[in-house]
C-alpha cells in the first residue's frame, strides 16, 4: 500500500491540534474550552521535553534517518513551523474566549485595565502575599545566570535610563500562590488578574531603589530535555540512578525558549546569550501569557452552563450490596469502565481484601499513582493486617519518578516488599493479583487493566479493568509477577499477550490469520483502539490486511504514522481519533477469527518500545457478555459524529460524518448504555 511512514512527532502535533480544536468549538462549555487550552499547552510542554529533546540529541550525534523515515533536523524544522502556526490559532481562540467570557460578566484583566479601587486591592495583595515570595535577581554581563526551571514562568525586567538598560529577573511564584487572583467586585461581575500582572502592577514598588526613566517587563519560559539517561548497570541501585537523573533534569539541555513577542531585541539577545541558545534552537515569540497549563485549574466562576454537566458514576450491576467483591468476581468476570464506573469500586475492593482474614497475599504493579494515594493506603493497611504485600514500582515513569521513590520508601517502612522495576525494561503493565485461602483451597483473583491505579486521573481518563477468577488468567498473571521476582525466569503464556515475550508475535499471527481468511473468501475483521500506532511491522501487516480485503477499523488517539490512503487511491483504511470530555486511554484489540471472535484489552500501544522494551499485558476476554459489551463500546465510538476526527493522509482532522443526524456523542451514549443496564 505504501512504503513510507509519517513522522510520529508530526502525527502527535496533529493529535494536539485536535485538542486545540476542542477549545474553539462552541458546543463545548466555555470554561471547559479554556481548560482545553491548558491541556494543549501542557501537552506541548511535555512534547518538547521528550520528543523534541530526543530529536535534538539524535541530530547532535549525527543520526541521519529515523525509524519511520526522515531526518531529525528536517523533522525539527517541520515541528517549529507547525507549532508557530498553531500558536497563532491558539491566540485567536483565547481572544475569542475572552470575548465570550465578557458576555458572561467574567473578565480576565491585566495591570493596565484596573480601576482605582481594584488597584488598591492589588497593591494590598502584592504587599501581603506576593512581595515576600519574590526575590528579584539583577542581571549583569559578567554575572552567571541562575539555574532556571522549566516548570516556571519568569518576568524579564528592563529598567531603561539614557538609552541604556539594566536587567532583572523575577520568578513568578506559582508554586506557592494561585495564578488566578480574584478581585472583589460590587457590580455582580467577576474580575480575575493573573499573578504575573499583579507583579507588573507593582514593578515601581519592587525596584524603587533603582534610578530609571522607564521600567517594563516581559514574560518568558523555557523547556528542558527531560529524557532519563539510565543504563542497565545494576551495580548501582535504581533509586540512586533515578534520583541522579531527576537532579540532572533540572540542569539539562534547553530545547525551547518561548517569550512575549514585544520583548526588546537587546533584552532577548541578552537572555539567549546567557542561556547558551544556538541558532537552530527553538525560539518562539507569542502572547503575554505563557505556562497556559495553569488554566487547567482555572477557578470555578460563573453559571453552571459554562461547565460540563456533572455526571455521577454508575455503580456496576454485578456489585451487590452486602456481597463481597471477591464473591461477585468468583461468580463471573467483571469489567469496570472508568470513569463511567466509579474508581472507588477498586479502592473498596482493596479495602475489603486488606481486612479479609482469608486473604494471604496481594501483588500489584504501580506506574503513576495519585498524590496521597488511597491505593497505597489500602496496601499499607493490608500489610498491617498481616498480608504478604508486594508492589512493583516503576521508577522510570516519566515525571512521576520522585513520587514513586517516596512511595517505595513509605511502603518499605510498612513491611511491604517493593520491587523497583526490571533492569532494561520499563514495567508499564497494570496488574493486581489477590490470593485467598479458604480451608484447603487456594483461590486467586486477577485484575488486569488499561490504565493506572490512580483515583485522580481515573475521573478523566477512559480506561477498563477486568476482574476475573479464571484460573487460566490468574495462573499467567502469577507468572508475570514471578518474572518480576526472578528476571531470568520467563514462562510460557497461552492466554495473556505479554511483551516483550509474546505480544508482537501473537498480534502479527492474528493479523495473518485474518489475511488468510479474507483470501479464502471468509469474513475477516480487525478493529484496533489504542493511543499510538507507530510500529513499522504492525502498520505494514495492517496495510497488507486492508489490501487483502480485511475490514480494518482503527481508533487512534495520538501518534499515528500510517498513511491511510494508498498512492493509487484504491485502498483506504478508515481511521478516527477521538477527543472529547474524557481522554480516551483504553486499548482494545478485536479479531473476527472466522466467527470465534477474539477480544483483548491491554496496557500496550502499537509502539516499538511497548512491544519490545516494556513489560505490557493484554488480557483475553472470555466472558461472552463482556465481549459483546466491548464490541458495542468500539462500535458506538465508531459511529460518533461529534468528536471522532477522520485520520487521513493530510491530517485535516475533519469530524467524521458531522453533517449527519441524529448527533451521536458516543461517550454520553455509552454512559447511558451502562446506566440502563444497571437499572434492569
Rounded Cα gap, residues 297 and 299, in angstroms: 6
- Residue 415: what are its φ and ψ, rounded to 5°? 65, 25
Half-sphere exposure of 216 (CA within 13 A, CB side): 11
Q: What is the DSSP string of 435-476?
A: EEEETTEEEEEEEEESS-S-TTGGGTEEEEEEEE--HHHHHH
Helix H, strand E, coil C: the string for 187-238 is CCCEEEEEHHHHHHHCHHHHCCCCCCCEEEEEEEEEEECCCCCCCCCCCCCH
60 contact partners, CB below 8 Å, separation of at least 6: none
- Catalytic residue of the set 316, 341, 428, 585: 428
Rounded Cα gap, residues 468 and 636, in angstroms: 25
Contact 605, 587 (CB under 8 A): yes
Q: Which of 498, 64, 80 is nearest to 282 (CA)?
A: 80
Residue 151 CA: distances (Å) to CA of 180, 221, 222, 267: 17, 8, 8, 22
Per-residue DSSP letter, 537: H
| Other Cβ atoms closer than 10 A to 248 | 13
State yes or no: is 428 an active-site residue: yes
Rounded Cα gap, residues 168 and 138, in angstroms: 4
Helix H, strand E, coil C: the string for 73-123 is HHHHHHHHHHHHHHHHHHHHHHHHHHHHHHHCCEEEECCCCCCHHHHHHHH
Burial class (CB in 10 A: 0-12, 13-18, 19+), 157: buried
Rounded Cα gap, residues 463 and 336, in angstroms: 8
Residues with catalytic annotation?
428
Amino acid at each position: 500500500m505504501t512504503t513510507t511512514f509519517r513522522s510520529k512527532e508530526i502525527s502527535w502535533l496533529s493529535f494536539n491540534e485536535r485538542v486545540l480544536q476542542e477549545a474553539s468549538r462552541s458546543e463545548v462549555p466555555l470554561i471547559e474550552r479554556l481548560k482545553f487550552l491548558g491541556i494543549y499547552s501542557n501537552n506541548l510542554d511535555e512534547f518538547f521535553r521528550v520528543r523534541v529533546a530526543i530529536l535534538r540529541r539524535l541530530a547532535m550525534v549525527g543520526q541521519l534517518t529515523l525509524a519511520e523515515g526522515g531526518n531529525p533536523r528536517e523533522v525539527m524544522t517541520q515541528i517549529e513551523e507547525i507549532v508557530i502556526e498553531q500558536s497563532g490559532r491558539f491566540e485567536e481562540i483565547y481572544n475569542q474566549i475572552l470575548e465570550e467570557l465578557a458576555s458572561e460578566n467574567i473578565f480576565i484583566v491585566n495591570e493596565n485595565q484596573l480601576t482605582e479601587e481594584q488597584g488598591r486591592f492589588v497593591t494590598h495583595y502584592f504587599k501581603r502575599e506576593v512581595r515576600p515570595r519574590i526575590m528579584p535577581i539583577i542581571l549583569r554581563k559578567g554575572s552567571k545566570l541562575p539555574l532556571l526551571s522549566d516548570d516556571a514562568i519568569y518576568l524579564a525586567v528592563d529598567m531603561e535610563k539614557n538609552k541604556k538598560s539594566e536587567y532583572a529577573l523575577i520568578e513568578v511564584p506559582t508554586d506557592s500562590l494561585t495564578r488566578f487572583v480574584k478581585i472583589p467586585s460590587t457590580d455582580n461581575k467577576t474580575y480575575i488578574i493573573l499573578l504575573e500582572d499583579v507583579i507588573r502592577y507593582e514593578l515601581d514598588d519592587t525596584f524603587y531603589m533603582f534610578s530609571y526613566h522607564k521600567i517594563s517587563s516581559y514574560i518568558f519560559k523555557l523547556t528542558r530535555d527531560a529524557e532519563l539517561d539510565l543504563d542497565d548497570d545494576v551495580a548501582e541501585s535504581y533509586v540512586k540512578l533515578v534520583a541522579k537523573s531527576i537532579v540532572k533534569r533540572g540542569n539539562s539541555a534547553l530545547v525551547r525558549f518561548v517569550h512575549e513577542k514585544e520583548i526588546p531585541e537587546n533584552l532577548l539577545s541578552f537572555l539567549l546569550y546567557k542561556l547558551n541558545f544556538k541558532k537552530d534552537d527553538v525560539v518562539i515569540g507569542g502572547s503575554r501569557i505563557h505556562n497556559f497549563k495553569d488554566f487547567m485549574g482555572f477557578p470555578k466562576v460563573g453559571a453552571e452552563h459554562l461547565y460540563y454537566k456533572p455526571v455521577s458514576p454508575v455503580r456496576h450491576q454485578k456489585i451487590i450490596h452486602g456481597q463481597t467483591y471477591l464473591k461477585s468476581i468468583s461468580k463471573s468476570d467483571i469489567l469496570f469502565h472508568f470513569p463511567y464506573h466509579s474508581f472507588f469500586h477498586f479502592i473498596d475492593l482493596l479495602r475489603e481484601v486488606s481486612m479479609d482474614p482469608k486473604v494471604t497475599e496481594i501483588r500489584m504493579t504501580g506506574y503513576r499513582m495519585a498524590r496521597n494515594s488511597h491505593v497505597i493506603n489500602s496496601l499499607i493497611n493490608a500489610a498491617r493486617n498481616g498480608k504478604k504485600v508486594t508492589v512493583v514500582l516503576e521508577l522510570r515513569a516519566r515525571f512521576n519518578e520522585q513520587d514513586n521513590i517516596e512511595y517505595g520508601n513509605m511502603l518499605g517502612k510498612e513491611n511491604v516488599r517493593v520491587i523497583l522495576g526490571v533492569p532494561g525494561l520499563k514495567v508499564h503493565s497494570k496488574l493486581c493479583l489477590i490470593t485467598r485461602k479458604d480451608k484447603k483451597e487456594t483461590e486467586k483473583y486477577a485484575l488486569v487493566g488499561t490504565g493506572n491505579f490512580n483515583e485522580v486521573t481515573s475521573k478523566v481518563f477512559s480506561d477498563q479493568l477486568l476482574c476475573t477468577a479464571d484460573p487460566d488468567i490468574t495462573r499467567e498473571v502469577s507468572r508475570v509477577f514471578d518474572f518480576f521476582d526472578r528476571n531470568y525466569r520467563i514462562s510460557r503464556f497461552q492466554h495473556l499477550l505479554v511483551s516483550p515475550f509474546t505480544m508482537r508475535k501473537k498480534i502479527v499471527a492474528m493479523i495473518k490469520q485474518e489475511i488468510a481468511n479474507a483470501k479464502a473468501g471468509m469474513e475477516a475483521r480487525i478493529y484496533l483502539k489504542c493511543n499510538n500506532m507507530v510500529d513499522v511491522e504492525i502498520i505494514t501487516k495492517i496495510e497488507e490486511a486492508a489490501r487483502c480485503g480485511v475490514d480494518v477499523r482503527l481508533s487512534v488517539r495520538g501518534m499515528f504514522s500510517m498513511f491511510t490512503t494508498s498512492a493509487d487511491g484504491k485502498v483506504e483504511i478508515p481511521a478516527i481519533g477521538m477527543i472529547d470530555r474524557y481522554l480516551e486511554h483504553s486499548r482494545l484489540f478485536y479479531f473476527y477469527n472466522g466467527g470465534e471472535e477474539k477480544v483483548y484489552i491491554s496496557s500496550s500501544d502499537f509502539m516499538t518500545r511497548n512491544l519490545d522494551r516494556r513489560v505490557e499485558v493484554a488480557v483475553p476476554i472470555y466472558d461472552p457478555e463482556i465481549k459483546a459489551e466491548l464490541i458495542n463500546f468500539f462500535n458506538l465510538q465508531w459511529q460518533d459524529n461529534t468528536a471522532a476526527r477522520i485520520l487521513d493522509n493530510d491530517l485535516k482532522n475533519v469530524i467524521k460524518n458531522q453533517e449527519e443526524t441524529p448527533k451521536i456523542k458516543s461517550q454520553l451514549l455509552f454512559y447511558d448504555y451502562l446506566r440502563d443496564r444497571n437499572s434492569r
